[in-house]
Amino acid sequence: MPRCCPVRHTPGVLTETTADTIFSLTMATEAPELLGKAAYTPFDELSQRADIIAVVLPLSSEARGLIGARELGLMKPGATFVNGARGAIVQEPALLQAIASGRLRAAGLDVFATEPLPLDSPLRTHPKVTALPHIGSATFETRYAMAVLSTSNLLQALAGGRPAATIDFGVLNQLAR
């Protein structure tokens, strides 16, 4: 059964890395007996049933602080929380509390509300937190594509043209609402 997941990042660069991550997570949970039985599940219900919750969404005004004490408290006891999206989506004090209380087994974080992560942050030393320094895009292919895209944009701008990957502030403002 074909699967699809919308992703929005730098055109043709981080999109591929994010899609690979989502595909890997999908394949890791693939079970032939479940094919054709997928159904929409409201977030609250999904949180209570899932062993792993992985956040992969863009930061917007609606997403800022979306995951807090209430949402983490709904998660299945012993679940694992993963954030590879944007740090500001998660209320970090609530995440630390959920881990300290034993509600969550562990957390894997590639992004933080403040980056670089402050040296005194308990997320750096907590034994149940695996913290990465925002390296989700650190593959040779992605970094090469980023370099090609930036060079191409620079050359287009120097030639008096409009770079292919520019920020459309009108669209950006709409997404942030």
Alpha helices in the chain (DSSP H): 14-28, 43-49, 69-74, 92-100, 122-125, 140-158, 169-176
Half-sphere exposure of 21 (CA within 13 A, CB side): 22
For the record, the structure tokens of 20 come out as 């690979």
Is 86 a known active-site residue? yes
Which H or E run includes 133? none
Q: Which residues contact 133 (CB under 8 A, 6 or more apart)?
A: 116, 117
Is 126 a known active-site residue? no
Catalytic residue among 71, 86, 92, 103: 86
Catalytic residue among 115, 124, 141, 143: 115
Is 134 a known active-site residue? yes
Instruction: Tell me which amino acid residue 11 is.
Output: P
Report, as residue numbers or ranges, the catalytic residues.
86, 115, 134
